[in-house]
């Protein structure tokens, strides 16, 4: 079966297909002419943009005959509420949910009940046998409505909808932990306004954090990030850092490598790390030097 992942991040639409043989068989990137923040900001304009995005996707599905594909959607982390808090797991499910809602209400006092929420126990930072650091991933219902509009206008039902960063995590787990390893790795996602970071081992997610630029220069933001990683490395034996993301990625990687010199750092390239179909030879891929932008899409499909 053919599998297609569609990604919307910043102002770019990206498509990647993996065929039944596990090979990358199609790659596409285009400027949408508007950003994902504009697309997902509630108002009259976002309905127009959702229709436009849907029609662009529909035209590509028709042109390249993707109707029989399993189709997933990846959207950037800016569209999610993300937070890490300690949770007492000996409490009832109702009490846990109440604690999570309280956390969201601190940021969205008027609409905290209007989120779809998932949460995941982290494997590092355990406070006690029953209290664990927990990652909250939530998306507002209004943004879900935008996704529904895109689905309606492009004429398909998405089989899976994920955040790009956590899709990228799946990719790096696949390529790095396919053979047994006790190593700990960092997965770093770079956008024009933030850095997302996950620390993984073979069991799963140990730690998650993000840095918002908030008016700081890239250099200052990377300095904050590098300091945080240095602190983590004093507590755990991190072996390698992988980078992926938008256009900012190579700049962030360069600055990070200047600040932390004793860590193996790698720019991801699925076009090298995964097999390509005979119709998509390495030298014929138009986005030849941009493979790091497609790691989340690969992660959805592996």
Supply the pLDDT for residue 286: 59
The whole-number pLDDT of residue 156 equals 87
C-alpha to C-alpha distances, 186 to 4, 261, 299, 301, nearest whole angstrom: 26, 15, 16, 21
- For the segment(s) 168-271, the CATH number from 3.90.79.10, 3.30.420.60, 3.40.50.1820, 3.40.190.10 is 3.30.420.60
Name the phi and psi angles at 80, rounded to 5. -115, 150
Does residue 182 sit in helix, strand or coil?
coil
Label residue 165 by pLDDT band (50, 70, 90). very high
| Mean pLDDT over each residue of the chain, to the nearest integer | 91
Query: pLDDT-based confidence at 54, cuts 50/70/90?
Result: very high
Maximum average pLDDT range among 42-46, 66-70, 113-117, 125-129: 113-117
When pLDDT is cut at 50, 70 and 90, the band that residue 199 belongs to is very high
Residue 95: what pLDDT?
95
CA distance 219 to 212: 12
Q: Span 231-258, mean pLDDT?
A: 95
Q: Which fold has domain 78-140?
A: Dna Ligase; domain 1 (3.30.1490)
Helix (H) or strand (E) holding 39: helix 36-40
**Does the fold of domain 168-271 match that of domain 3-76+142-163?**
yes
Give the pLDDT of residue 113: 95
Q: What local confidence, expressed as pLDDT, does residue 65 receive?
A: 85
Task: Please give the pLDDT value at position 177.
Answer: 81
Architecture of domain 3-76+142-163: 2-Layer Sandwich (3.30)
Polymer length of the chain: 302
HSE-up of 11 (CA within 13 Å, CB side)? 7
**Model pLDDT, residue 129:** 83
User: Which own/partner contact pairs does 144-148 have at CB distance under 8 Å and 24+ positions apart?
Assistant: 144/116, 146/39, 146/40, 146/46, 146/50, 147/73, 147/75
Q: Kindly state the tokens that stand for 258.
A: 């200047």
The per-residue pLDDT for range 83-112, each reduced to its tens digit, is 999 999 999 999 999 999 999 999 999 999
The least confident of 39-43, 47-51, 181-185 is 39-43
Lowest mean pLDDT among 76-80, 200-204, 221-225: 200-204
Per the structure block, which two tokens stand in for 289? 């030097």
Q: How far apart are the first and last CA of the chain?
A: 12
Distance CA 260, CA 44 (A): 46
Domain ranges, ordered by start, for the chain: 3-76+142-163, 78-140, 168-271
Q: Answer with the residue of higher pLDDT: 31 or 289.
A: 31
């Amino acid at each position: 079966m053919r599998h297609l992942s569609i990604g919307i991040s910043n102002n770019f639409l990206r498509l990647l297909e993996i065929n039944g043989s596990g090979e990358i068989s199609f790659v596409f990137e285009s400027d949408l002419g508007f950003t994902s923040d504009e697309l997902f900001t509630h108002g009259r304009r976002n309905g127009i943009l959702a229709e436009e995005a849907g029609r662009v996707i529909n035209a590509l599905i028709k042109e390249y005959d993707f109707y029989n594909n399993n189709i997933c959607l990846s959207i950037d982390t800016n569209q999610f509420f993300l937070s890490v808090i300690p949770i007492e797991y000996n409490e009832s499910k109702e009490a846990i949910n109440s604690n999570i809602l309280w956390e969201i209400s601190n940021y969205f006092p008027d609409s905290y009940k209007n989120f779809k929420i998932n949460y995941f126990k982290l494997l590092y930072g355990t406070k006690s046998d029953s209290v664990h650091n927990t990652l909250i991933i939530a998306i507002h219902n209004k943004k879900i409505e935008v996704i529904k509009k895109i689905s309606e206008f492009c004429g398909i039902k998405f089989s899976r909808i994920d955040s790009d960063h956590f899709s990228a995590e799946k990719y790096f787990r696949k390529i790095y932990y396919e053979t047994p390893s006790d190593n700990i790795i960092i997965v770093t996602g770079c956008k024009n306004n933030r850095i997302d970071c996950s620390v993984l081992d073979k069991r799963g997610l140990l730690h998650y954090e993000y840095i918002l630029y908030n008016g700081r220069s890239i250099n200052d933001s990377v300095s904050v990030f590098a300091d945080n990683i240095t602190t983590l490395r004093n507590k755990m034996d991190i072996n390698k850092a992988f980078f992926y993301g938008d256009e900012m990625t190579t700049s962030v990687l360069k600055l990070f490598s200047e600040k932390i010199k004793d860590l193996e750092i790698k720019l991801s390239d699925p076009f090298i790390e995964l097999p390509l179909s005979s119709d998509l030879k390495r030298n014929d891929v138009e986005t030849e030097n941009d493979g790091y932008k497609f790691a989340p899409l690969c992660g959805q499909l592996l």
